[in-house]
Amino acid sequence: MATEPRLPVIDRAEIIQCKIPYFCRHMTQFTTDSGITIKEVYTEESTMNEQPGQFPYTRGVQPNMYRGRLWTMRQYAGFSTAEESNKRYHFLLQQGTTGLSVAFDLPTQIGYDSDHELSDGEVGKVGVAIDSLRDIEILFEGIALEKITTSMTINASASILLAMYIALAKKQGADLMKISGTIQNDILKEYAARGTYIYPPKASMRIITDIFEYCSKELPKWNTISISGYHIREAGSTAVQEIAFTLSNGKAYVQAALAKGLDINVFGERLSFFFNAHNDFFEEIAKFRAARRMWSKIMHELGATNPKAMMLRFHTQTGGSTLTAQQPQNNIVRVALQALAAVLGGTQSLHTNGFDEALSLPTESAASIALRTQQLIAYESGITNTVDPLGGSFFVEELTNTIETEAWHYIKKIDAMGGSVTATENGYIQDEIAKASYKYQKEIERSEKIVVGVNKFTSEEKNDTPLLRVDDSIRKTQSLKLKQLRKERDNIAVTTSLQKITRAAQGTENLMPLIVDAVEQYATLGEIADAMRSVFGEFKS
């Protein structure tokens, strides 16, 4: 006679110690990377009467989104000299990239010429070295600025790089009314999360609002700031903190522009944002949706009535800090998932990281794979055929609402302190990011959070990924260029232009026209930065 199958006897102690995989996972409390508890199932849909392209823009800033136009496909690139970077830009354009994104080396970012003693060891390493208008002329040789959009990741010296771009556009005979692109120009996050600042906060805010005012008249299609959550996230923040701190910074810039007497309905159209696409797929999608809704409310409260001034338009870059040196080809999958989240979240522009970027600057092969990832999503996945395809998902809608609620909590706390500038000066934002970063790292070390190839599914395979290296001789090359430049230019005209910048910095005159003039006289980036340093001083953390 057959006996009935018997269920195994389960030792409760083994369950508690997580020795039995099914019960261990069954008993786990599931959360997002921001610590938001995830329910087992979602059954109630939140109110979804909103339409894409309409306030508060949760479902997207355009009524037809990618059915009308795909996002701009950018690849962040720049290394070594202007000559080498120009070759990479032409390669990317041939591969189908639809917008340029320029990376600058550290000396350029903090206002030092390549021959400055503090530039030693850093010239051309993490981006292209730019010392003068001559370098910009080489960087964009064969590229018509009127026909391409360019994003420049530059902050403290953004006014100088923008002036160089304007000067080149003028030399090309371009119509400045048609020139479009973006400078990052977001100094507040530099104090909180990144560190490439030059001047103290108040002086930096003055330069930023000068750019707002100048571009509203001279370059109406230029995005005058890309308010960046990307670096806040790279420093270790959660998704909630990323949008809370970024939107708080955005609010501070708007308030500074209003105090200068600028029209929110004009400059508000040219504000853009820059976010990270991290690993937690659904949380990232919900984050983008929540950020759009929140920004529209902030701008409305600050007095905006122009619908375009209330739209949050954003560029996304996949998460650099998520890339692993171990089993680097796994990064191709990570980047694909992160890019997919950005598109499902409604990004206007996207950069996908090369799989080798945890090891070095990306090779042409890695950059090509990264770009193909975007093209596959755009042309083969089908997700661009309808607007906000996850809208109405019980899970996504509730997660969007929860992220918004938690982000407002941070923003209200920052407002009570007096705003982002004060919160940054007293270290609050830095401390919150540090706590989140420490918590995340401890979770990885305890294997509570799995990173494939790092703390689980590891291997001893030798890593033979080809690497791109930048030679230290680049500094010598750039120094020789500078020596020749100073010999050939009109040094009296240069001195006069720099003196005008110094005098204007002491008062309230807009600095941008004077910086453009100095650039056109072939004053160097370091000389212009020093002219302002002599008045504003330097920020010491």
- For 77-107, b/e burial (b = at least 16 CB within 10 A) is bbbbbbebbbebbeebbeeebbbbbbbbbbb
Query: What's residue 15's pLDDT?
Result: 41
Query: Which CATH code is given to the segment(s) 67-445?
Result: 3.20.20.240
CB 139 within 8 A of CB 101: no
Give the pLDDT confidence of 470-509 residue by residue, as tens digits: 777 899 999 999 999 999 999 999 999 999 999 999 999 9
Q: How far is Cα 211 from Cα 158, in angstroms, rounded to an integer?
A: 9
Structure tokens at 424: 């940054």
Query: What's residue 44's pLDDT?
Result: 61
Does the CA dihedral 205-208-212-217 come out positive or negative?
Answer: positive
CB 539 within 8 A of CB 194: no
Give the pLDDT confidence of 70-127 residue by residue, as tens digits: 999 998 888 899 999 999 999 999 999 999 999 999 999 999 999 999 999 999 999 9
Q: How far is Cα 318 from Cα 149, in angstroms, rounded to an integer?
A: 20
Query: What's residue 224's pLDDT?
Result: 94
For residue 56, is the peptide bond before it cis, meaning its omega torsion is within 30 degrees of 0?
yes
Strand duo 181-183 + 150-153: pairing: parallel
Paired residues of 315 in beta bridges: 274, 349
Residue that is written with structure tokens 């903090």 in the block: 110
Find, among 394, 286, 395, the residue nearest to 342 by Cα. 286
Give the pLDDT confidence of 437-477 residue by residue, as tens digits: 999 999 999 999 999 999 999 998 777 788 777 777 899 99
Would you place residue 25 in the very low, low, confident or very high pLDDT band (cuts 50, 70, 90)?
very low
Q: How far is Cα 195 from Cα 351, in angstroms, rounded to an integer?
A: 22
- The DSSP element (H or E) to which 99 belongs, if any, is strand 99-103
List the strands of the sheet with 271-277, edge to edge.
222-223, 181-183, 150-153, 99-103, 72-77, 349-351, 314-318, 271-277, 225-228
Give the pLDDT confidence of 406-437 residue by residue, as tens digits: 999 999 999 999 999 999 999 999 999 999 99
φ/ψ (deg, to 5) at 508: -125, 5
pTM of model > 0.95? no
- Distance in angstroms between the alpha carbons of the first and the last residue of the chain: 82
CA atoms within 13 A on the CB side of 494: 17
Give the pLDDT confidence of 226-263 residue by residue, as tens digits: 999 999 999 999 999 999 999 999 999 999 999 999 99
Q: How far is Cα 44 from Cα 144, in angstroms, rounded to an integer?
A: 52
Q: What is the mean pLDDT of residues 278-295?
A: 98
